[in-house]
Amino acid sequence: MPLRVAVQMDPLDRINIAGDSTFALMLKAQELGHELDWYSPEDLSFVEGRLWTMGYPVTVQRVAGDHYRFGEPRILDLGRDVDVVLMRQDPPFDLGYITATHLLERIQGETLVVNDPASVRNAPEKVWVLDFPQFMPPTAITRSKGLTRKFLAEHGEIVIKPIHGFAGGAVIRIGPDGRNLASVIELFNRTYREPHVVQKFLPEIAEGDKRIVLVDGEVAGAINRVPGEGEIRSNLAVGGKAAKTELTAREQEICAALGPECRKRGLLLVGIDVIGGRWLTEINVTSPTGIVAIDEFNGTDTPGLFWDAVERKLAER
């Protein structure tokens, strides 16, 4: 069934088509005969009960430097003119992002928005994971220097990271001697108004951080992201290397627990991060990545699974 799809995302000229998950979803949508429009979240306008944007009809192709072409721009009523809004802009998860979710929530009775905007707003990557403490490493959410020192004394070595950070940014390891702990907390407290994530350092990170992708609550595939030399961060955006992998029994248990919650919340595309085959550290719902590498290693078609799930959701409405 051909669909009219509006894609809310960052500028297309900035993406790396070799590994960009949104681009892969757009290519598959086009292959299936769906009609695509691109728009920026900054162009959303709510006027007299209707949500509008300036959309650009777009065609895409896997040709570096010539990977997209826009048609003539057109004003879209996102509640009436499209079947699906694909919300895929990257973090930061700031007030602009949150406001966009509030606006998109107002058209949910008319248009399918994926992932569900209210659920995206209510499930930040490093916050929703707190609902599954049985799978997490020891974790504290705090701005307190004293509590962080106590946590370090209990666990020997820790990492500190922004609670709304992304792509591995500003993840700092503190050793048993506590050197620089005070400075790091002071810097974080000046930079961020919200509390920070403090976690026990997991030596298993040297063997990789597994990204598992769920489509409508079911496992679509996984890759292991191995940190570069001298790094503790495994994100591909900061130099991590992807490797083929299989799920452990513990990881299957984690996915079985998360799957029904994803379906209940309307989160069709979710990426979870697991260290050491057993420690769940994040649940990514804003713009989860990794599907291109997963499909290259496994010969799978995650975008196809995604659009099948979208069509099922539309049929249920």
- Residues with catalytic function: 126, 161, 211, 225, 233, 273, 282, 284
Amino acid letter, 141: I
Kind plus residue range of the DSSP H or E element containing 84: strand 84-87
Backbone angles phi, psi at 63, to 5 degrees: -130, 110
Strands, E, within 177-275: which ranges? Answer: 196-200, 209-215, 218-226, 241-243, 269-275
**Counts for the chain of helices (H) and strands (E), in that order:** 9, 17
115 preceded by a cis bond (ω within 30 of 0): yes
Nearest Cα to 281, choosing from 144, 192, 165?
Answer: 165
Amino acid letter, 59: T
State how far the Cα of 168 lies from the Cα of 289, in Å rounded to an integer: 13
Nearest Cα to 163, choosing from 132, 191, 203, 186?
Answer: 191
State how far the Cα of 147 lies from the Cα of 199, in Å rounded to an integer: 12
State how far the Cα of 272 lies from the Cα of 246, in Å rounded to an integer: 14
